Chains A and B, each alone.
Chain A
């Protein structure tokens, strides 16, 4: 047993977190920054954070993740990291020459109170930022929220780049939230089918799913361009996908530049995708093409074809709030029963939203924000499930409890495909459903006695 010390008996804990269902802010900011074209993320703290965040993202994507750090020493930690940052800016532009540096902070620089906005002012004043180059920053204290908060903070800093010209650009801003490069591609594909001109930001497609060609490009072709980010203030509206990941930036554009926004769920599964498509159609005043209707119909078809294997199967879920809300709704919509749901990210709205979605289920539902995977495992021990959905760390629970398990979320360190095949939209819904069914049916094939082993399922 890999997690043999996890007991059925649940003891109240107020100080000890075990097997977290979250990580810290800066990695989210780093991921978001990689979605800007020509951008080098920068970690203003001691270098360990940057090494860890790069490593985790690299293990997840199997792609190079470039980011620089201020490399604080003990002296800088006491007297402030401004000098380190000024040197870093100079070295980065001289050696690596990005179009833009997107800096974030760590618990170190936040605790000592370094102010990146002020440091930028000084850098501009001293001519450290070359002509035509940009520097943005986000404050991302690791002791507040989670990696999702860090992502949101950096996305908001991107929105703060908006420079409205007074002339509308006829485009819709789409803030995709923390989804995979393939998901971002899929969102753009759906928007183009409905003929909605858009600015998607951040956009890691083409950055974190690149080819092997014998050439290494630190700044690949993909990413939202600086011009596009500046232009978001001229857009006709913003669709923000995910309250935790994207709403802050959207509301900023709304309140500062009167770009109206609509906060939607992330389009995982049938219903959330329906709402996304409907919103796109409405803002653009276009009709939804037959092609998308067919994709939707295919998803409904597969649900009906395989419903017998899904009906009332119990599921445990762990991950980030925006993704979990949409996934829970999808599972309920296909008559499965998500009964244990944990996120490590704080936020009161989460539990309320999950309770609403699951209120008609004929069973008790355990839900916790600021929970951890140790608690989730204990819940599973008390009330077993038929399926577990979550990131790679779930494999230890899956093995111990002998559970079918679908890898979904962040990070996935031990399987491929998540960067190439979308899980958003109807197409993504088909894939999610395929993954769920594969697990359930593999299990059936493994466990059925020989005399009942079936060729056709």
Chain B
């Protein structure tokens, strides 16, 4: 073994850890954080409840970002043939320029604006006199330069405050240009309490302005949409490879490596497979209500999870040919995965991980760690809601607090002509009888061991303390956390950007991940932190060079 020797607190008690985390806080902060730090344990008659999706404590050094990031950066950013125009001062547009690794194939038409950054670059005069004129002009200039099929406009903090009416501007421009769909997102950074509000706003507008625009029937069998998959490091490419091999047709991915037309045609699919529940469950629900497409939760992170998800999709369609094909593909793919898992496991078995990632991966990646014999001892989200922790059954009890009340909820009704239930009530019942679950997500908690710690909106202080006390073998979070954790001598894996690696989804992704974690937890570098003279500072005798 080449890992640095570390004293392990094997017998840490979660109650003590929690107490230690809270000790340093001012009383008000401690009371609030106590509700967001949960010890996962079975309670009588109920499951433990966590507080989530509440405002961030000022000055606490949160990991969270804003609504604009959730809307433009996450959901709308990855579509290659929409010109994403940011209405605001330059920063918001600059920081979201190519910094999320949504890989994209420019396709045969070559229309690809992913490498560009578009902004109205608001100046003080725009703040004083309003920026509507400039926005209108910028849309015109973008149209004249590129003739895109669609231009999306994103609001940033000052836009809402100065009262620019971006929806009227875009409506007028859509009319004026004729062959370009122009629409806007009121995703000012101060709305809601995190990126999450931005997801919701993006879901609403993409559904309102794009979904259903193209009724053309696409070729192929077993049509699904893959919802909440953003093709980070090529995850979507790998999932598409597997789906194709199985003979399953992916109509639209929301929104990794996607096009405008995919969104426009999404209502022609027969099943919605939801990867990231947090970011896209709104669209999933709306597609069901308006067009009759049911949704199921899937997970393509982890080889076993991938196999399970493929079987679920095959079971839904229920055709013998598909079911057999899926089994054949799994049988073809698994031997290599298992061989590598077996080898890696000799070096990873029994090691521990912590994961604090956005709104879904802190759950999904536990599958991969399980496959390596590693245990997740603490996990949490930046901005997930209680349903992502506790399961969707808590949704009826959720209260929207004052900070999120102004996020628009749109009412969707069944489409008069295009609503078509994909399965009869009887068929749905029959599937459910076999244990098949529609519109369901059980959340993170049931998959975590007794006594593990689940922490919402983890901050810098708690991250450092947790690592010091519980000494995980690997810590997973984002770029802002990476280097402070590594300074402590603990390997840190970014599960947003994958540290430029990936894909980690699907079968090939599982192999990549096993190898990557093996590399990290067994790297020689962690043994170099002390110089020889620091290990033995006291000289017992002096050298004599004479």
Q: Known: A75-B403, A92-B59, A108-B161. Is A11-B484 also a contact (CB below 8 A)?
A: no
Does A311 reach chain B (CB closer than 8 Å)? Answer: no
Q: Interface segment, A142-150, A275-283, A401-409, A436-444?
A: A142-150
Contact A23 B124, CB 8 Å, known A18-B116, A46-B189, A69-B62: no
B529→A89 contact, CB < 8 A: no
Cβ of A45: which chain B residues have Cβ within 8 Å of it?
157, 189
CB-based contact B113/A58 at 8 Å:
no
Contact check, B69 vs A51: say whether CB atoms are below 8 A apart: yes
Q: How far is the CA of A217 from the CA of B483 in the complex (A)?
A: 11
Q: Which of B95, B144, B403, B487 contacts A74 (CB 8 A)?
A: B403
User: How far apart sit A23 and B529, CA to CA, in the bound complex (Å)?
Assistant: 36
Q: Is A267 an interface residue (CB 8 A)?
A: no
Tell me if B40 counts as interface (CB < 8 A to partner A).
no
Against A, the Cβ 8 Å flags (1 = close, 0 = not) of B117-144 are 1111111101100000011111011101
Instruction: Return chain B residues, CB-CB under 8 Å to A87.
Output: 57-59
B62→A95 contact, CB < 8 A: no
**For residues 1 through 52 of chain A, which have their beta carbon under 8 Å from a beta carbon of chain B?**
1-5, 7, 11, 13-20, 22-27, 42, 45-49, 51-52
B482 to A, closest residue via Cβ:
A58
**Quick check: A91 and B529 within 8 Å, CB to CB?**
no
Cβ–Cβ contact A16 & B61, under 8 A: no
Interface string of A76-97 (1 = CB under 8 A from B): 1100000011011111101110
B residues 66-81 in Cβ contact with A at 8 Å:
66-69
Chain B residues in 8 Å Cβ range of A107 = 88-89, 91, 122, 127, 156-158
B58 touches A95 (CB 8 A): no
Q: Find the A residue at minimum CB distance from B123.
A: A143
B95 close to A55 (CB less than 8 A): yes
A89 to B58, CA, bound (A): 8
Q: Which of A3, A25, A42, A91 has the most CB of B within 10 A?
A: A91
B58 near A88 (CB under 8 angstroms)? Answer: yes
For B484, the chain A residues whose CB sits under 8 A away are 64, 66, 216, 218
CB-nearest residue of chain A to B133: A15
Q: Are B29 and A11 in contact (CB under 8 A)?
A: no
Most buried by A among B58, B60, B137: B58
**A4–B55 touching, CB < 8 Å:** no
A residues less than 8 Å from B485 (CB atoms): 216
Docked-complex contact B55 and A73, CB < 8 angstroms: yes
Query: Whose C-beta in chain B lies nearest to the C-beta of A83?
Result: B58
CB contact under 8 A between A16 and B138, given known A45-B157, A47-B56, A215-B488: yes
Instruction: Output the least CB separation between B199 and chain A (Å).
Output: 14
**Max chain B CB contacts within 10 Å: which of A19, A42, A74?**
A74
* Nearest chain B CB to A212 CB, angstrom units: 6
CB pair A73–B403 under 8 Å, yes or no, is yes
Contact A26-B91, Cβ < 8 Å, known A95-B461, A112-B161: yes
Partner of A58, one of B59, B117, B480: B480
- How far, in Å, is B103 (CB) from chain A's closest CB? 13
Assess whether A214 is interfacial by the CB under 8 Å rule. Answer: yes
Q: Report Cα–Cα, A4/B144, bound state, in Å.
A: 16
Q: Which residue of B lies closest to A109 (CB)?
A: B157
A59 interface residue per 8 A CB criterion: yes
Contact A111 B93 (CB under 8 A): no
A88 touches B487 (CB 8 A): no
Q: Are A69 and B190 in contact (CB under 8 A)?
A: no
Size of B's binding interface in residues, CB under 8 A: 93
Q: Given the interface contacts A13-B141, A95-B461, A216-B488, does A71 sit within 8 Å of B90 by beta carbon?
A: no
Beta-carbon contact of B116 and A5 below 8 Å: yes
- Given known pairs A17-B121, A23-B91, A95-B461, the reply for A74 and B191 (CB within 8 Å) is yes
Tell me if B438 is interfacial: C-beta within 8 Å of chain A: no
The residue of chain A having its C-beta at the shortest distance from the C-beta of B489 within the complex is A214
Asked if B277 lies at the interface with its beta carbon under 8 angstroms from chain A, I say: no
Check if B189 sits within 8 Å of A49, measured CB to CB. yes
Q: Does A118 have its Cβ within 8 Å of any Cβ on chain B?
A: no
Asked if A71 and B161 sit within 8 Å, CB to CB, the answer is no
- Is A213 within 8 A of B135, CB to CB? no
- The contact of B118 among A17, A69, A72, A89, by CB within 8 Å, is A17
B115 touches A2 (CB 8 A): yes
Contact B90 A88 (CB under 8 A): no
Cα A74 to Cα B188 with chains together (Å): 9
Q: Which residues in B have their C-beta under 8 angstroms from that of A15?
A: 120, 134-138, 140-141
Instruction: Please give, as numbers and ranges, the residues of chain A lying within 8 Å of B94 by CB-CB distance.
Output: 20, 22-24
CA distance A213 to B25 in the complex (A): 28
Inside 8 A of B118's CB, which chain A residues have their CB?
Answer: 16-18
The answer to whether B141 and A48 have CB atoms under 8 Å apart is: no
> CB of B99 within 8 A of chain A?
yes
Q: Shortest CB–CB separation between residue B93 and chain A, in angstroms? A: 7
Return the CB mask of B491-529 against A: 1 if under 8 Å, else 0. Answer: 000000000000000000000000000000000010011
Asked whether any CB of chain A lies closer than 8 Å to the CB of B65, the reply is yes
Question: Given A51-B66, A112-B161, are A90 and B26 neighbors across the interface (CB < 8 Å)?
Answer: yes
Cα separation A310 to B149 with both chains bound (whole Å): 46
Asked if B64 contacts A47 (CB within 8 A), the reply is yes
For A68, give its contact among B59, B68, B136, B529 (CB under 8 Å): B59
Is A429 engaged at the interface, CB distance under 8 Å to the other chain?
A: no
Cα–Cα distance between A108 and B127 once the two chains are bound (Å): 11
Bound-state CA distance A143–B69 (Å) is 19
Q: Is B19 part of the binding interface, using a Cβ–Cβ cutoff of 8 Å?
A: no
A23 to B112, CA, bound (A): 23
Chain B residue nearest in CB terms to A81: B58
With a cutoff of 8 Å between Cβ atoms, the chain B residues found around residue A16 in the complex are 85, 118-120, 137-138, 141-142, 145
B402 at the interface (CB under 8 A from A): yes
A96 touches B61 (CB 8 A): yes
Q: How far is the CA of A19 from the CA of B94 in the complex (A)?
A: 8
| Complex alpha-carbon distance, A3 and B118, angstroms | 13
- Say yes or no: is A171 at the interface (Cβ < 8 Å to chain B): no
Contact present for B480 and A144 (CB under 8 Å): no
A383–B6 Cα distance when bound, in Å, is 60
Are B137 and A5 interface neighbours, CB within 8 A?
no
Q: In the complex the two chains form, what is the Cα distance from A23 to B55 in whole Å?
A: 28
* B97 beta carbon closer than 8 Å to chain A: yes
CB <8 Å contact, A77 and B56 = no
For residue B160, which residues in chain A have a CB less than 8 angstroms away from its CB? 77
Contact between A48 and B69, CB atoms less than 8 A apart: yes
Q: Which residues of B contact A66 (CB under 8 A)?
A: 61, 460, 484
Most buried by B among A49, A62, A77, A107: A107
With A and B bound together, what is the CA distance between A16 and B86 in angstroms? 10
Interface centre among B119, B157, B192 (most CB of A within 10 A): B157
| Chain B CB within 10 A, most for which of A15, A66, A213 | A15
The docked-state distance in angstroms from the alpha carbon of A53 to that of B144 is 33
| Chain A residues within 8 Å of B146, by CB | 5
Cα A18 to Cα B85 in complex, Å, equals: 9
CA of A396 to CA of B114, assembled, Å:
12
Given the complex, which residues of A lie within 8 Å of B124, measured CB to CB? 141, 143-144
25 pairs from A and B in contact (CB 8 Å cutoff): A2-B115, A4-B112, A13-B141, A14-B137, A48-B68, A52-B96, A55-B99, A58-B482, A64-B483, A64-B487, A69-B56, A71-B57, A73-B193, A77-B188, A88-B59, A91-B58, A92-B59, A95-B59, A95-B60, A108-B161, A142-B89, A144-B123, A144-B124, A216-B464, A393-B97
19 more CB-based (< 8 A) A-B contacts, given A58-B479, A68-B58, A74-B403: A3-B115, A11-B141, A15-B138, A51-B65, A52-B95, A54-B480, A58-B480, A64-B482, A66-B484, A69-B56, A74-B192, A77-B160, A107-B91, A111-B157, A141-B89, A210-B487, A215-B487, A218-B460, A393-B97
Question: A-side interface residues toward B, CB under 8 Å?
Answer: 1-5, 7, 11, 13-20, 22-27, 42, 45-49, 51-56, 58-59, 62-77, 84-85, 87-92, 94-96, 106-108, 111-112, 141-144, 146, 210, 212-218, 344, 374, 393, 396
The 6 closest A-B pairs by CB, nearest first: A48-B66, A88-B59, A24-B91, A15-B137, A52-B95, A142-B89
